[in-house]
């Protein structure tokens, strides 16, 4: 069987997920509350008004957006391009799979958090509700290929399917994939290939 279906694409700029304890240090207040700046497409997820600097011994990037809500572990997601300036080699990982990921330091207006690990290149992935997944005969952590149309189009391999009640169908790609494939950030779509 060869089924194809369209999927909207969301481009993930570099960002940081924080645990409560780290936000308290970075922003200098116990039980600090993140400020919802803008809801994201995935229900319950939001970009925050808060930004931090991420740095290593070799480089830094200012104004990296924090995403809410809080997570059990602090996680920094960057692109391969970003990693070259920081001179670190983060592994390609599922969100939350941080063992052995790259060390990085976060600097906020009130304090600094040195992470021994937590920096990753997020793998290419698709969020799906259980119903959307069932229609596509996909189960959690299935790996699919996705075709991207356009002048610099092609097929992306190793796209991980992530299924959760709160999710809506959307593929997340990092900025390197987005720029390589000339995605615009507006109404980009891909085609899930199953074979």
> 3-state class of 175 per DSSP?
helix
The footprint of its own copies on residues 106-135 (CB under 8 A) is 123-124
177 binds its own copies (CB under 8 A): yes
157 binds its own copies (CB under 8 A): yes
The residue from 78, 133, 175, 192 that contacts its own copies (CB under 8 A) is 175
Distance separating alpha carbons of residues 171 and 190, to the nearest angstrom? 8
Distance separating alpha carbons of residues 60 and 76, to the nearest angstrom? 13
Q: Is 77:118 a contact under the CB 8 Å cutoff?
A: no
The footprint of its own copies on residues 12-71 (CB under 8 A) is none
94 binds its own copies (CB under 8 A): no
Count of alpha carbons within 13 Å of 118, Cβ hemisphere only? 22
153 binds its own copies (CB under 8 A): yes
154 binds its own copies (CB under 8 A): yes
Length of the chain in residues, anyone? 195
Q: Residue 84 contacts by C-beta under 8 Å, 6 or more apart in sequence?
A: none
Nearer to its own copies, 50 or 174 (CB): 174
Distance separating alpha carbons of residues 2 and 140, to the nearest angstrom? 19
DSSP state of 50: E
Nearest approach in angstroms of CB 81 to its own copies is: 5
Instruction: Return the range that interacts with its own copies (CB under 8 A); candidates 42-50, 52-60, 109-117, 176-184.
Output: 176-184
Nearest approach in angstroms of CB 158 to its own copies is: 6
Residues near its own copies, by CB under 8 A: 79-81, 84, 92, 123-124, 145, 151-158, 174-177, 179-182
């Amino acid at each position: 069987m060869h089924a194809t279906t369209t999927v909207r694409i969301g481009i993930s700029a570099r960002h940081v997920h924080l645990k409560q304890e780290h936000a308290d240090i970075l922003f200098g207040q116990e039980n600090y509350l993140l400020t919802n700046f803008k809801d994201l497409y995935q229900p319950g997820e939001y970009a925050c008004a808060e930004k931090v600097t991420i740095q290593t011994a070799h480089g830094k990037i200012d104004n990296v957006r924090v995403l809410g809500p809080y997570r059990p572990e602090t996680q920094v997601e960057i692109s391969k391009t970003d990693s070259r300036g920081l001179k670190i080699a983060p592994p390609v990982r599922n969100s939350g799979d941080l063992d052995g990921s790259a060390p990085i330091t976060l600097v906020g207006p009130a304090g600094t958090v040195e992470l021994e690990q937590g920096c990753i290149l997020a793998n290419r992935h698709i969020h799906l509700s259980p119903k959307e997944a069932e229609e596509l005969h996909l189960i959690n952590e299935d790996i699919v290929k996705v075709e991207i149309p356009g002048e610099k189009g092609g097929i992306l391999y190793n796209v991980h399917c992530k299924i959760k009640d709160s999710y809506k169908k959307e593929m997340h790609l990092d900025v390197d994939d987005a720029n390589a494939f000339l995605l615009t950030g507006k109404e980009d779509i891909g085609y899930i290939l199953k074979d």
